[in-house]
A = this chain, B = another copy of it.
Amino acid sequence: MFDLKAYLANKSSRINRALAAVLKTSGKPDRLLEAMSYALMAKGKRIRPILCLAAAETIDGDPQEVMPAACALEMVHTYSLIHDDLPAMDDDDMRRGQPTCHKAFDEATAILAGDALLTLAFQMLSSMATNDHNRQQAFKWLRAIQLISHAAGYCGMIQGQMLDMASERKDLTLAELKSMHRLKTGALIEASVSCGAELVGVNSTQIHMLENYAQKIGLAFQVTDDILNVEGDPEIMGKAVGTDERRRKTTYPALLGLAESKEFAAQLVKDALRALDAFDQKADPLRAIARYIGERNH
């Protein structure tokens, strides 16, 4: 039986060490770096970087080899949380069990800390192949930047946040809701899996199956997020609940009801597992993560 708890703890601690090392070499400590570190090193699930490492392992790659991409994904995710929490956006006070970045520091510092984390992600990846020794690695890291920037940018996450804000006080259809979430959270989750796999040399059949897996868990993640916003425990989650209803946002529970939303999430997890059928036990971490997403309480 695969021990997911131990796996997640082990990977999280490796990721946290790698993130701390990047911050440490980024410059001398000051208010900006403090704000970046405050948001980045807060207790997060590290789902995206762990997916990246697990996808590499699934096709027998060395997870340490894709660690820079894993770190970049977490930086991009954290920047998006800082900006989404701003007063002009979702105006949230709590995140990852602590005051949001603009509450702990100030609005200007939060905007710049987000900008700096986004930039640092690409700075770090572009520094992976800068001398003749590792010149032939350049293509690989350029591809990682392409995958992550495409998922994070205008055609992905940022577009999703625009649609999400526009959807407040507006009824969406199920198709519109799915497409909004595919952009807002799905794109970066999909990039996490494909980055991890592509960097260690995936073949085209495998990448197709992994993309299918990532698409299903990305959507499942959002459905459970909506469910937790209705019935989650704010203590365990480290952020407020009930906010979707107050903002009159279209959610899966609002559209489908709570019971049917749970069934939908369960079906998505089943679909994700089926997408991995052709892989051996090296895909067990990805399988366990899919189940975990369906059952998570935070």
Complex Cα distance, B102 from A11, in Å, reads 41
A32–B108 CB distance below 8 A: no
| Residue in A79, A135, A149, A150 with the greatest tally of chain B CB atoms within 10 Å | A149
Known interface pairs A26-B155, A115-B83, A120-B154; A143-B130 also in contact (CB < 8 Å): yes
Does A119 lie at the interface of the complex (its beta carbon under 8 Å from any beta carbon of B)?
yes
- Looking at chain A's contact residues, the main secondary structure is helix
Residue numbers in B under 8 Å from A94 (CB-CB)? none
Residue numbers in B under 8 Å from A88 (CB-CB)? 106-108, 111
Q: How far is the CB of A169 from chain B (nearest CB, A)?
A: 14
CB contacts under 8 Å to B, within A142-161, are 142-143, 145-146, 149-150, 152-155, 158-159, 161
Q: How far is the CB of A46 from chain B (nearest CB, A)?
A: 22
Residue numbers in B under 8 Å from A120 (CB-CB)? 149, 153-154
* A 160-182 binary contact with B (CB < 8 Å = 1; else 0): 01100110000000000000000
A155–B27 CB distance below 8 A: yes
Complex Cα distance, B143 from A141, in Å, reads 11
Residue numbers in B under 8 Å from A9 (CB-CB)? none
Residue numbers in B under 8 Å from A155 (CB-CB)? 26-27
CB contacts under 8 Å to B, within A191-205, are none
Does A127 lie at the interface of the complex (its beta carbon under 8 Å from any beta carbon of B)?
yes
Does A112 lie at the interface of the complex (its beta carbon under 8 Å from any beta carbon of B)?
yes
Q: How far is the CB of A40 from chain B (nearest CB, A)?
A: 12
Known interface pairs A27-B155, A145-B145, A153-B123; A86-B109 also in contact (CB < 8 Å): no
Copies in the complex: 2
Q: How far is the CB of A284 from chain B (nearest CB, A)?
A: 32
Does A122 lie at the interface of the complex (its beta carbon under 8 Å from any beta carbon of B)?
yes
Residue numbers in B under 8 Å from A115 (CB-CB)? 79, 83, 114-115, 118, 158
Residue numbers in B under 8 Å from A149 (CB-CB)? 119-120, 122-123, 126
Pick the contact of A111 from B89, B130, B152 — CB < 8 Å?
B89
A161–B112 CB distance below 8 A: yes
Does A139 lie at the interface of the complex (its beta carbon under 8 Å from any beta carbon of B)?
yes
Known interface pairs A83-B115, A162-B109; A126-B153 also in contact (CB < 8 Å): no
Q: What would be 27 A-B contacts, judged by CB atoms less than 8 Å apart?
A: A26-B154, A26-B155, A27-B154, A27-B159, A30-B159, A33-B154, A79-B115, A83-B111, A83-B115, A88-B107, A89-B108, A111-B111, A112-B162, A114-B115, A115-B158, A116-B153, A118-B119, A119-B153, A120-B153, A120-B154, A122-B122, A122-B149, A123-B146, A126-B146, A138-B139, A142-B145, A145-B145
10 A-B pairs closest in CB distance: A88-B107, A119-B153, A123-B149, A126-B146, A126-B145, A138-B139, A138-B138, A116-B154, A138-B142, A122-B122
